[in-house]
């Protein structure tokens, strides 16, 4: 019998705890596929954040460390400095990475820390019930911006890839989306590329993935994908913001 489809080795058989229609499941799969593709399952250490992906240690089938809120890049730094030959990645949401962990993110990037950050941007705090995140769009209604995000008071959302791409330590920064099959395929390639750059020891890599939160956006999964395309993509354009190899293929 020919196997045409199976779970990546780097994912466990544990059913995930994400809401129906959430795109975390897709992103987990892409990360696991990339680890398998490099045959690095036994040499990968993942760092789980605080937020919806806090239980990521149950789903990735490799060594995992659960970090304090926002500290995943610092924890990953410690791991990588002890075991530089291992593939080390963090998996973080926008509140974790762009609010409470901004300093850890920027300085890991500035040091050119040879780790990969998987940054899931869904413009909201999911786990705590839908509060405004640093990535929440202008006028977007959340639990803590009930009248819409007021730019005068809360400022404008942060574009992480653009900001980090100004730092010399960043080897690769790309924003992708998981809203459609073609975009998912591009996301898969981006994650592979980041891991390969890490394996080559070239520095900090970040893949930002535009993602949905049907539960806290108050939309159906399909409506959420439309909302992502119509609202997030114009403000968070997809593309490569930094490539130390100048776009050459690392593979």
Partner 1 sequence: MSQRVLMKGNEALAEAAIRAGCHHFFGYPITPQNEIVAYMSKRLPKIEGACFLQAESEIAAINMLLGASAAGARVMTSSSSPGISLKTEGISYIAGSDLPVVVVNTQRAGPGLGGIQPSQADYWQATKAPGHGDLRVLVFAPCSVQEMVDMVTTAFDMADKYRMPAIILADGMLGQMMEAVTLPEDRGRQANNKEWATNGHAGENRNIINSLYINPDELEKIIRDRFARYAEIEAKHTQHEEYALEDADIVVTAYGASARVAKAAVRDARAKGIKAGFIRPITLWPFPKEAYAKAANTARSFLCVEMSMGQMVDDVRLAISSKVPVHFYGRPGGIVPAPEEVLAEIEKIAGGMN
**Cα angle: 34, vertex 249, 210; to 5 degrees:** 50
**Two tokens, residue 186:** 């591009």
Determine the Cα–Cα distance for residues 6 and 23; give it in Å rounded to an integer: 19
In terms of CB distance, is 47 or 192 closer to partner 1? Answer: 47
Q: What are phi and psi of 222, to 5 degrees?
A: -70, -45
Least Cα distance to 163 among 84, 221, 97 occurs for 97
**Two tokens, residue 245:** 């190899």
In terms of CB distance, is 77 or 212 closer to partner 1? Answer: 77
In terms of CB distance, is 50 or 232 closer to partner 1? Answer: 50
**Minimum distance from residue 238 beta carbon to partner 1 (Å):** 30
**Minimum distance from residue 90 beta carbon to partner 1 (Å):** 10
In terms of CB distance, is 136 or 198 closer to partner 1? Answer: 198
How big is the chain by its Cα radius of gyration, in Å?
17
From residue 89, give the alpha-carbon distance in Å to each of 179, 228, 237. Answer: 23, 25, 24
Q: Name the site residues for partner 1 (rule: CB under 8 A).
A: 9-10, 41-45, 47-48, 54-55, 57, 61-68, 71, 74-83, 86, 103-104, 106-107
**Minimum distance from residue 236 beta carbon to partner 1 (Å):** 26
**Minimum distance from residue 19 beta carbon to partner 1 (Å):** 16
* 11 phi-psi bin (left φ>0, alpha ψ -120 to 50, beta other): beta
In terms of CB distance, is 42 or 222 closer to partner 1? Answer: 42
| Strand residues in 98-245 grouped as ranges (E) | 116-121, 170-177, 204-210, 239-243
In terms of CB distance, is 107 or 186 closer to partner 1? Answer: 107
**Minimum distance from residue 44 beta carbon to partner 1 (Å):** 7
**Minimum distance from residue 245 beta carbon to partner 1 (Å):** 26
Strands 116-121 and 87-93: parallel
């Amino acid at each position: 019998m020919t196997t045409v489809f199976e779970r990546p080795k780097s994912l466990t058989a544990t059913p995930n705890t994400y809401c129906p229609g959430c795109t975390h499941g897709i992103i987990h799969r892409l990360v696991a596929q990339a680890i398998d593709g490099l045959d690095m399952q036994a040499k990968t250490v993942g760092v789980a954040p605080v937020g919806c992906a806090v239980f990521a240690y149950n789903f990735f089938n490799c060594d995992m460390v659960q970090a304090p809120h926002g500290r995943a890049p610092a924890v990953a730094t410690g791991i990588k400095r002890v075991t530089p030959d291992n593939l080390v990645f963090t998996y973080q949401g926008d509140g974790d990475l762009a609010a409470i962990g901004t300093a850890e993110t920027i300085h890991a990037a500035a040091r050119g820390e040879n780790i990969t950050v998987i940054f899931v941007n869904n413009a909201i705090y999911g786990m705590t019930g839908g509060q405004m995140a640093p990535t929440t769009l202008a006028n977007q209604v959340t639990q803590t911006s009930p009248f819409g995000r007021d730019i005068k008071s809360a400022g404008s959302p942060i574009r992480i890839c653009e900001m980090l791409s100004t730092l010399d330590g960043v080897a690769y920064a790309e924003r992708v989306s998981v809203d459609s099959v073609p975009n998912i395929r591009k996301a898969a390639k981006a994650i592979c590329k980041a891991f390969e750059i890490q394996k080559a020891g070239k520095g900090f890599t970040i893949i930002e993935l535009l993602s949905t939160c049907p539960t806290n956006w108050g939309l159906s999964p399909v409506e959420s994908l439309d909302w992502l395309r119509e609202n997030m993509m114009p403000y968070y354009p997809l593309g490569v913001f930094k490539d130390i190899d100048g776009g050459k293929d690392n593979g």
